[in-house]
Amino acid sequence: MDINELIKISESAQKFSYSPYSHITVGAALLTKSGKVYTGANIENASYGATICAERTAFVKALSEGEHDFEAIAITSNLGHETAPCGICRQFMDEFVKDDFKIILVNKEGEPSVRPFSYFMPDSFRIEN
Ligand code: THU
């Protein structure tokens, strides 16, 4: 799939964001190796710590339907600048992605970047199984 197409899907996933507290809408589009796309949006909670980010929403949707081979994720928001994944999402993704997994972001000029997951999560904690 084309990068720009994945970004568009991520942007449209923002419409399902539930963010009455931060008013930040985040969208994610997770592409599997088989070419399927799972979308996600951030879902907030009055108990702020219970909030679920867009990335984890997309991953949990995919994982709970049996998907385990991931190619890339496009992350977008209404912030007007690159929206890099938070630390919890980096750790969460680390459990399920391989070295070739890519993170696609969009900068304030609207230009996409494609970076390996290892750029965001070097030297991660891992237990071999
Ligand atoms: N958020 C995400 O959805 N993904 C991230 O990686 C960073 C933060 C959401 C959570 C919360 O709803 C809002 O952005 C502000 O933190």
Long-range CB contacts (< 8 A, 24+ apart) of 108-111? 108/80, 108/81, 108/82
Catalytic residue among 5, 11, 55, 71: 55
pLDDT score at 75: 98
Q: What is residue 13's three-state secondary structure?
A: helix
pLDDT per residue as tens digits for the range 50-104? 999 999 999 999 999 999 999 999 999 999 999 999 999 999 999 999 989 999 9
Query: Bridge partners of 76?
Result: 27
Report the nearest atom of ligand 1 relative to the CA of 57: 3
Query: 128 C-alpha vs ligand 1 centroid, how far in Å?
Result: 29
CB-count burial class (<10 Å; 0-12, 13-18, 19+) for 55: buried
- Does the annotation count 65 as an active-site position? no
Rounded distance from Cα 123 to ligand 1 centre (Å): 23
**Residue to probe by mutation, ligand 1, list 14, 26, 81, most atoms within 8 Å of CB:** 26
Q: Which fold has domain 3-120?
A: Cytidine Deaminase; domain 2 (3.40.140)
21-51 pLDDT tens trace: 999 999 999 999 999 999 999 999 999 999 9
The DSSP result for 46-106, as a single string, is SSGGG-B-HHHHHHHHHHTTT---EEEEEEEESSSS--PPPHHHHHHHHTT--TT-EEEEE
Q: Where are the domains of the chain?
A: 3-120
| Residue 15 pLDDT level (bands cut at 50, 70, 90) | very high
- Whole-angstrom Cα distance, residue 22 to residue 76? 15
Rounded Cα gap, residues 121 and 37, in angstroms: 23
pLDDT at 129 over 70: no
